[in-house]
Amino acid sequence: AQSVTQPDIHITVSEGASLELRCNYSYGATPYLFWYVQSPGQGLQLLLKYFSGDTLVQGIKGFEAEFKRSQSSFNLRKPSVHWSDAAEYFCAVGARAQGGSEKLVFGKGTKLTVNP
């Protein structure tokens, strides 16, 4: 079964520091991969997605992610974190649901705290 592991439950960084959030997936074929961000009390906003092609994907808010098939990873990076980046980040893989539709399988999330 498809699964996503986000090894870090909580990460704290200083404003201006670089950031890398880890994501490992389990999927038999070429995966569709996503990173979403969730601010407190809000829904999920898509940061970026990988379907095929260039393994380095650029997203919104200055984020990027790199797909590494050999490591089954899709880590999210940002060179310089802003205080407004404090939120919870979810990695997800596209999968097939019973009935045939596509679904997203999410990791448990990584909570990012940004210190001034």
Partner 1 sequence: ETGVTQSPTHLIKTRGQQVTLRCSSQSGHNTVSWYQQALGQGPQFIFQYYREEENGRGNFPPRFSGLQFPNYSSELNVNALELDDSALYLCASSLAGASSSSTLHFGNGTRLTVT
* Interface residue list for partner 1 (CB under 8 A): 4, 32, 36, 41-46, 49, 51, 90, 92, 94, 97-109
Nearer to partner 1, 33 or 114 (CB): 33
- Would strands 10-14 and 110-115 be described as parallel, antiparallel, or unpaired? parallel
Listed in sequence order, the residues at least 6 apart from 116 whose beta carbon sits closer than 8 Å to its beta carbon are 14, 15, 83
Q: How far is the CB of 116 from partner 1 (least distance, A)?
A: 26
**β pairing state of 24-26 and 56-58:** unpaired
Q: Which is nearer to partner 1, 17 or 97 (CB)?
A: 97
d(CA 58, CA 49): 8
Query: Shortest gap between Cβ of 6 and partner 1 (angstroms)?
Result: 8
Q: Tokens standing for 113?
A: 């705290």
Task: Decide whether 43 or 116 has the Cβ nearer to partner 1.
Answer: 43
State the nearest-atom distance from the C-beta of 95 to partner 1, in Å.
8
